[in-house]
Chains A and B, each alone.
Chain A
Amino acid sequence: MTGGDPLAPERAISVAGAPDGVRAVGPVDEGELTHLLQHASATSQKVAVWGGGTHRRIGYDEPPDLVVSTLGLAGIIDWEPDDLTVVVGAGTTVTDLEGELGTRQQSAVLAEWPGGGTVGGAVASATSGYRRLRYGPIRDRLLEVRAVTGDGRVVKGGARVVKSVTGYDLPRLYTGSLGSLGVITSVCLKLWPLTEAVATVRVDTPEAAGAVHRPLAVLETREGVTVLLAGTAAEVQAQLSALGGAHRSCLDYPPPPTGEVSWSIRVRPSLLTVAVSRLPPGSPFVAQHGVGEVTFATTNSFEISDLRSWAEESGGAVVRVAGEGSADPWGTPPSTLPLQRRVVAAFDPARVLEPGRLPGRI
């Protein structure tokens, strides 16, 4: 810890995309963050936690008094390739991390279209990527988390081993917490070896993917349905034979749909085809079959309420993931709101970190 003062005038930085006129700072270690957040708590300053700025549109948008960039917390801290784990600073971009891991034929299977997004942002926003059908959501791949709480306490949860039941599961609690429980400073992630062979196959229906055991992803867009395969050369060849159809020997990840606003529909997987049938005509979308998520883009005048009512009545949700709009970004908050509020207060008593951003405006 340097214990430097990131609030010193000469340390002011500019953060692309941050609101105009709001002070932005870039702490470089946990000591500086502690100092910064103690100060913010003492002076009741609302803090926005900013990585690559790629997930800012998730949740309610409360104007901050201070923008804290995590880009100064970048870099691989510990990587033992034979353990298939990596400890990485939260401000490391997904692209940089995956690039480095790729030099040893490994991957953290983070989102395939990360933009300038950071590893900390991927965890804080619970962004899992298309390959979660095989590798699970990001919350299942996070082994250890370190964070500085709203009142400046440095806390760690989990362990740097692939299997641990030592204490409460803070890594999962921090996953998707959107900065409200603390500024994540580093994480330990589980890695996977990149496979020998890959392929993308076009099929007629999502159900056709049932011919193969555990594909990497089954994705549907306006252009049709593809099954993504990965494994040994013989395995991929056998799966290609089972599926038939045209294929390419690469992983063809569709880009995220873009428009004035993007929504994520989350329902149990068997309802995905119904969800797709309810999308506004012509809107670009990516449906992750087997997972239960459809992301689609539309105009900000699109009325989300019918779709949302249907999803919520089916036990799911419709959540804004990008863009602008007047519609509520979360919909109905969870029934455990009072408990959620207590948990947030335990980590951020003065409620300075992303106040109001979570469902229920916690």
Chain B
Amino acid sequence: MTLRRDSGQALRQDSGQALRRDSGQAIKSEPFVVNIGPQHPSTHGVFRLKLTLDGERILDADMVMGYLHRSMEKLAEERTYTQNIPFTDRTDYLAAMTGNLAYVMAVEKLMEIEVPERAKFLRTIMSELQRIASHAMAIGIFANDCGAWQTPVMHMFRDREKILDLFEMACGARLTLNYMRIGGVSRDIPPEWMPQARKLLKELPKRFAEYEDLLLSNEIIIARSRGVGVLTADEAIAHSVSGPMLRGSGVAWDIRKADPYAAYDQLDFDIAVGTNGDVYDRFVVRLAELRQSLHILEQALDMMPSGPVHERVGTATVQPWGQAVAPLAFRPPVGEAYGRIESPRGELGYYIVSDGGPSPFRFHIRSPSFINLTPLKLLSVGATVADAIVILGSVDIVVGEVDR
């Protein structure tokens, strides 16, 4: 499906000839550079897209990033392993739970720690709640990019808000959660958490049906997104694309299934896959994943075992409520580990190199937002400016994770 990119070329030639015919002489025209961003609502943060245009057609697309670069990888080398957990909240700030999980899993892999069963389930439940919250945001903002200004976002925010309330009950924070710990989670959920979560799970199917009614058959969304930004399965794999973008191109690859972590091996769910690899398919995959996450949550809440939520690692401090949490002082063995999970945006990996000291020797974040931008130029060249906005929206970047 490289049709669209080629037809862009053909259109350009046509319009040039038409102009020449009308005026009787060749018109001198120059490519025109337009900057979208760094401050622009459609860039979803501080990100700049530099487009070279011929009329409405894109000749070249260049990404300028780094406005939010906080040098986390360097900062992490100066802090202990536990002190680094809050950084992982601030990379992908729309999915802090999965950021936490990927990092602590990498350190656990390095230190060969086995996590208690209840902590595994809590991690799974929190990740899936986070996935719903993050996808709801992605879908809402995508509808925003398509021209449905603010209304869908407000619908999504209503439900995201309830998930954030659950997070607040579990760990006291709503956005930068800092909930996971090396060896488990920071604390158990309070007794009133379960009834509220079950109440939310009863509500959500109605909401999801509402989203699907509102958006899936919407004429404007279909016109703006079908056949736009087509990425074939081979291109997607070659460009290291992951997550809903890869599955939208028809590759049934989900780390939760392929390499189950936490409690995913005990739960039943399907991988949502698209067929055409266009913007619309990525959006449909996200909508379908909402339902799958709900299905996982229903099972996980029923199967949740009792028991401890934290494995004792190193010298743990005892919190005022008597629970030993937050190991502060430990030195992992010399070696390296690459831990990865399926975050809402794709494969989120942490590569940790240890020299046996109290802080990581090297701390690298393989961030899906950043790497999913690789084929952006391929997708945008030949498309129109309006398409470029929708294509960027379908990648679903979080700039905190792009720049780190």
- Whether chain B is bound by chain A comes out as no
